[in-house]
Structure 1
Amino acid sequence: MNMENKMKIEIWSDVMCPFCYIGKRNLEKALTQFSDREHIEVIWKSYLLDPNTPETSDKSYAQHLVEYKGMSEQQVDGMLAQLTQTAKQAGLDYDFDKAQLVSSKKAHQVIQMAKTKGLGNQAEEVMFKAFFTEGKNIADKSSLISIGEEIGLSKDEVETALSDNKYAEMMNADIAEARQIGVQGVPFFVFNRKYAVSGAQPPKAFLESLEKAFGEWREDNPAVKLDITQGQSCKPDGTCD
């Protein structure tokens, strides 16, 4: 099958990172304003903000930050209120009272499986929503099965993602690659392996990076213009002439 050559945007992200979901939405807004968006391929890459986060949590998101990050309750409350407001401006509904701060490793393994089926973007979206809006436990197998089914993965495929070491290795390869290119935090967006945008920038900033990177990519990858000699043919709508 002849796959069209597209300019790649690679995004290192963790599904429990509030700015990653905001960044995703702002990039999507930029893409809606970008006339060549059909020539863009978005590739999601795994990143673990805290590999030591447990798979079960008896603490609220706020309590976890107070205990593990050494912040005061007042600081945490202020920060979460600000994040909720920033998310709202991006069109997202965060509920930190419900959010369960648990390990995202299993979620990343499911996303890696989804990527092999061309469902990476959908997997990121439902995983972010599950974590920040719906308060689901993204380390819980039954939760992950229902999240997987929501995007078209079967129960067996989700179970394979969790049991087959291949998907953990794919996650670790992304993390190793992040270290190699110098990613210090997420979200981290790489356009055509030439330009990087760190953090959840506004749509306008993404659009500027997109246009700059794509202009250069297009010079190296000119559009195919065919000189067509017309003859009798059949079209997808069933008409033949």
Structure 2
Amino acid sequence: MQVEIWSDYVCPFCYIGKRKFELALERFAHKEQIETVFRSFELDPGADPHSGKSTYSMLAAKYGMSIEKAKETTQNVAEQAAAVGLTFHFDKAVSTNTFDAHRVVHFAAEQGKEKEMSERLFKAHFTDGENVGDRGGLTALAVEVGLDAAAVTEMLASTQFSDAVRGQEEEGSALGIRGVPFYVVDRKYAVSGAQSPEVFLDTLNKAWNEKHPVFIQVNDGDTDVLCTDGYCAPDAPKS
């Protein structure tokens, strides 16, 4: 069963939601049969990767609030992150462009390192205060998860995976995704936002049970009865 996650690496609720989803997955009876795929979404495609702006300045400008109000708002988010074991340092986080970060994740996916790369990017931005829009920094992060530095540098200098990133963003738009995080389970169920682990677990169970209905063969005297979903029907009469 596949779970697609549209997210951005400078989105705090994407990191919080990711952790909550992982907590739910640990409790899911069939977790080994879940394929998690990260899809590309940019909150600000026009952002300058080297603006040098703090998160506080970016929020103040974007929402017309004071720096103090921005600090107050992010403190609340940091507390939500701490509740699921994450450490957010908004005082170190910098505003940046994430297009290349998404390209690196596509490259990592080809090497079987998609999950590790995604986690490292989130941590780099929210915990370590690193610029995940800087190509040199991205290369260093990729090396940390086991990717080849020269190969990553070459990829970033090209246009490789640009179409893949844009394609997933367009696909998300076609699905009606206007904000992230957004989770799509087997293209049948959707969860929007950093919901509780219980919501994720309930959705996973619903999707799984729909895909794998339980049939129980019950012997009732001389009649074989096939039961599923609370409904029983006898077999054809025996000859």
Normalization by structure 1: what TM-score?
Answer: 0.86
8 Å CA contact 1:113–1:157 kept in 2: the answer is no
Aligned match of 2:172? 178
Q: Matched residues in 1 for 2:93 and 2:43: separation?
A: 16
Distance 2:2 2:154 in 1: 28
Q: Percent of aligned positions with the same letter in both sequences? A: 39
| Matched letter for residue 163 of structure 2 | E
- Which whole-Å deviations, capped at 9, do the CAs of 1:85-108 have from their partners, x for residues lacking one? 000001100000110111111111
Q: Residue 37 in 1 paired to residue 31 in 2?
A: yes
Q: Which residue of 1 aligns with 2:6?
A: 12
What do you get for the CA RMSD once the two structures are aligned? 1.3
Contact kept? 1:192, 1:217, Cα under 8 Å: no
SS of equivalent to 1:29? helix
Q: Tell whether 2:221 aligns with 1:215.
A: no
What residue is the counterpart of 1:129 in the other structure?
Answer: 123
2:52–2:95 contact (8 Å) kept in structure 1: no
Task: Give 1 or 2: higher strand fraction.
Answer: 2
Match of 2:186 in 1: 192
Q: Shift of residue 196 of structure 1?
A: 0.3
Question: Which runs of 5 or more residues in structure 2 are unaligned?
Answer: 215-239
**Which structure's CA Rg is the greater one?**
2
Paired residue for 2:158?
Answer: 164
Structure 1 residue 60, shift from structure 2 partner: 1.4
Choose the corresponding residue for 1:149, options 129, 133, 143: 143
In 2: Cα distance, 1:11 partner to 1:100 partner? 23
Unaligned 5+ runs, structure 1: 1-6, 221-241
Question: Residue type of the partner of 2:32?
Answer: E
**Distance of 2:60 and 2:181 partners within structure 1:** 23
Task: Assess if the C-alpha contact under 8 Å between 1:19 and 1:187 holds in 2.
Answer: yes
Partner AA of 1:66 in structure 2: A
> Which of 105, 111, 117 is matched with 2:105 structurally?
111
Q: Aligned partner of 2:45: which letter?
A: P
Deviation digits for residues 176-203 of structure 1, max 9, x if unmatched?
Answer: 1001100010000000100000000011
1:18-55 C-alpha deviation (Å, 9 max, x unpaired): 00000110000001101100110000001000111101
Matched residue type, 1:77: K
Count, aligned residues = 214
Counterpart-to-counterpart distance in 2, 1:201 and 1:38: 22
- Paired residue type of 1:26: K
- C-alpha separation in 1, matches of 2:189 and 2:9: 23
Query: Which residue matches 1:69?
Result: 63
